[in-house]
Amino acid sequence: MVSSLIHYIQARSSSPLSEKDISLINEAFIPKKLRKRQLLLQKGEVCKYIAFIVKGATRQYTVDDEGNERVLNLCIEGWWTSDRESFHKEAPSIYNIETWEETEFLLLPKANGYYEQVNSIPAFNEMRIKLDDNQHMAAQKRLYASKNHPAHVRYDELARLYPEFLQRFPQHIIASYLGITKETLSRIRHQTAKK
């Protein structure tokens, strides 16, 4: 499992990984498998890991006072998932992170100093900075789109950028991720199919 993470880091960094770096990564990351619909993180828990998805899919969501789920993130293999605020501040999470398929993770714990040690690897740090920048830009675009673009434009953009989401997540999860109702999504999909 760790070989996929090694390749991932090398593809996103100009700094090489030494044998010592690879040995530390092998030691630091903990493999974990969860069945579909199991929680990697439950609301109220402190997030203790940064998780790399080797295989599978997850959703990060909250549940409001009326019991409605609000999907914040969808993630698939080759992506990272966690509640970074909870992880860094060691505060209870307001999110659930649930597997939507049988999912294999590599978990980087904060405990035992592993997070700091792995972040001191130049290639890992370079990759992390690039991912942080990309995530920040994507979050800005998504926020802008949610405030300025009609539902059909947000759906078209999701279909263009992440077509695999439409294949792997059901309609009600896609609707929640886009901030629209299932009925609106159904109408958009019907209109798109007629084009």
The pLDDT tens digits for 4-39 are 999 999 999 999 999 999 999 999 999 999 999 999
pLDDT at 194 > cutoff 80 = no
pLDDT at 63 > cutoff 80 = yes
Give me the mean pLDDT over the 85-91 stretch. Answer: 96
pLDDT at 109 > cutoff 90 = yes
Other C-beta atoms within 10 Å of 40: how many?
A: 23
Q: What are phi and psi of 145, to 5 degrees?
A: -65, -40
Q: Which CATH architecture has domain 2-119?
A: Sandwich (2.60)
pLDDT at 1: 79
pLDDT at 3: 93
pLDDT at 195 > cutoff 80 = no
pTM score > 0.95 for this model?
A: no
Average pLDDT score, the chain: 94
Give me the mean pLDDT over the 98-117 stretch. Answer: 95
Query: What CA–CA distances, in Å, run from 178 to 43, 78, 167?
Result: 22, 22, 15
Residue in 18, 87, 133, 135 with CA at minimum distance from that of residue 6: 18
Rounded CA-CA distance 51/62 in Å is 19
